[in-house]
Structures are given as C-alpha cells and as structure tokens.
Amino acid sequence: MAEGTLEVSFERPAAFTFEAGQYLQLRLPKLLYRDRKGPSRVFSIASSPLDEGRLSVAYRDTGSGFKRTFRGLPAGSVVMIEGPHGFCTLPRNPSRPVVLVAGGIGITPFMSMLRLAVGSDGESPRVTLLYANRNAKGAAYLDELEEMERGNPRLTLRKQFGVVDDAFIRKSVKDLEGPRWYIAGPPGMVDATRSVLHVLGVDAGDVYFEEFLGY
C-alpha cells in the first residue's frame, strides 16, 4: 500500500460481523522465526463491513518474526481471529460532522469507515480526514483516499508531511467544537494531538482515540 506497508486480505468467515473502526486479534498457527511477542497481534480492520468476501488488515513491515512469518504464508493458509473488539466507531447520527486524525498506519481503521461511507447507499456524516506522514512514499492508501475525495463531496482530505500541530488543525477545520474527533496513530502522536485539541477548546468527551503500539 506504500513504502514498507502491506495490506493482507482473508476470506471473511460467514458469521463474522463488525463495525467500521473495530479491530481483531490475529494468531498464526506457527512462527517460522523467533518473536518475543509471540504468534498473535492486534490489527485494525481496513475493509468495509459491506465487503462480505474479504477481511483486510494492514501493517508496517518491521521485519519482526511474526511479520516475516505472516508475509510468507502461502495462499490457502488458515489463521485464527478473535473479535471484533473496540468502540472507536462512527456515531449513529450522521448529521454531526466527523474529523478523523490519522498518523501513519493509524489510517487503517479510518479506511474501514471511509470505505463504508463510500459504498453505502445511506446518508453518511460529513468527514474531514487529517492525514499525517513523514513523506508521501510512506502514506498508505493515499491514491485511494484522493480518489475517494474526488468522488465524494462529503469527504475532505488534508495531508500533512510532518507533525499534527495546532496550525494544521486550525487551517483544516474551521468549526473546532462542532465535530466529533477520532485520533489513531502512534502513542506520542495521539497524546500530542489530544493536548492540542484541549488547548483549542475541544471537549474531551468529543474525542475518541486509538493508540498503535508498533505491532
């Protein structure tokens, strides 16, 4: 999906249902390389709940024993999943706007949300995506996101190659107190963004977040 980033898709079990923004626990049957964290990891679901044929996750290829084994699995391999888990999901009422703040691979749960919004016939909230990466090469799903924006007037994409700071937020979102805010990314980025929103006057009750711990 980008430099050092992979998306892996599985045949979706018929009984597996989830909401956009949730995650799962994935366990490999056997590690081929040593990994001190063991054979399982937590992954946000990147595919839409409307996609009945597949279940997708994405991750940075760090070279860990788990990821080396995962990447080398042949087609037809069986893995175990538990879930879904998590409450970082879109509001039921689509009338209130939403701001998604993604740092790096934190874009994954938001891809599920956006793919759902684009593929649904029902009304979806107005969404502003603030997407921060170190550079364009490492920005996963960027081409798909830009295509989504061109085809959906209710989606606004704002890119930042650098940190999420108050200037970027002020420039991208005019009404700071109106939307619900969702933040996903590395712990440092999540904490810093929450602090910026607090200083800007956003109610903590309107901020939902998910930290990615380098799985």
Alpha carbons within 13 angstroms on the beta-carbon side of residue 84 total 24
The SS3 of residue 208 is strand
pTM above the 0.85 mark? yes
Which band of pLDDT confidence, cut at 50, 70 and 90, is reported for residue 84? very high
Tokens of 50: 């409307």
Residues 6+ away with beta carbon under 8 Å from 136: 142, 161
Task: Note the pLDDT tens digit of each residue in 188-205.
Answer: 999 999 999 999 999 999
Mean pLDDT of 58-75: 93
Which band of pLDDT confidence, cut at 50, 70 and 90, is reported for residue 1? confident
Residues paired with 130 in a beta bridge: 101, 158
Task: Note the pLDDT tens digit of each residue in 116-174.
Answer: 988 877 678 899 999 999 999 999 999 999 999 999 999 999 999 999 999 999 999 99
Which band of pLDDT confidence, cut at 50, 70 and 90, is reported for residue 212? confident
Q: What is the pLDDT of residue 213?
A: 63
Which band of pLDDT confidence, cut at 50, 70 and 90, is reported for residue 91? confident
Instruction: With residue 191 as reference, give the H or E element that holds it.
Output: helix 187-199
92 C-beta neighbours (distance < 10 Å), count: 5
